[in-house]
Structure 1
Amino acid sequence: MPEQKVDEVHRQAAAGHRLLLVGDGVNDAPALAAAHTSIAMGRSGADLTVATADAVIIRDDLTTIPGVIDLSRRARRLVTANLTIAGTFIAVLVGWDLFGHLPLPLGVAGHEGSTIIVGLNGLRLLRDAAWRPLTSTTAKGPERP
């Protein structure tokens, strides 16, 4: 029952566990909302479940979940790297301007250059290799590139 699922999610959270819950029916929506992270199976999933979940997998195939988790971890690392790159560029430019003389054209070029580097770094997730674990699955789960 839906309330039993929610109670179990709350019990696990009270025990210090972080849950990833997967569901596809209306009866899963309350538990998906209560879980730390939730995934809805979208093709046959109910509209309420799809709207409640943090992520939606269009395929009704549970073997794609490890690939989605892997892709989300890579995306998080990429965002962290981009923030580090941008922050480093800004810190160097600000430090240079405070403790020396940074010509305005060089400051603008440095800032815009960092923006281009961050954008190009973000485009790495569009490569086929980034999506391969999601498209080729085996009985054990997604392949590693």
Structure 2
Amino acid sequence: MVQSSSRNEQPMLKRLCLQRDDYRCIVTGTIDPAAERAYPDVVFDENRMGPTNASHIIPFALGRYQNAAQEQNICHIWTTLFALFPALHDVISADTINEPKNVMTLLEVLNTQFGKLNFALEPTDQANTYEIILYRGFTALFYPLQMYTENDR
């Protein structure tokens, strides 16, 4: 590993992802309040707004270490990931964990659920379209959870 990732990069990373994701949670379409600053002439429906997080797909912790022992453990994890999923080699590494390609904008509560592995996004045959897979422990508040689409605007 070259260098441990830093949380100092998170505000810029969130801004980049908000811009890319049109200031919306990619699952629910809920609009982040930052959209009001980005588009001051647009009136947003307050009922469709909520706080979001920049959510790492491969956990941020796999790019961050504080000592040699942690670095060694993280190296073992990456070695295992690359052995199980060889295509990852061309997509991401510990050094690129904080790039937008590894981050998605999620409503805060969904970020928590994603971090607890209570739901997953499974790719479909259609580009940039995913099926939502819910696991035991998922917060019932969101049943049924349906993927936001461009038609929902």
TM-score under structure 1 length normalisation: 0.26
Return the structure number with greater relative CO, CA threshold 8 A, min gap 6.
2
TM-score under structure 2 length normalisation: 0.25
Work out which of the two has the higher radius of gyration on C-alpha atoms and give 1 or 2.
1
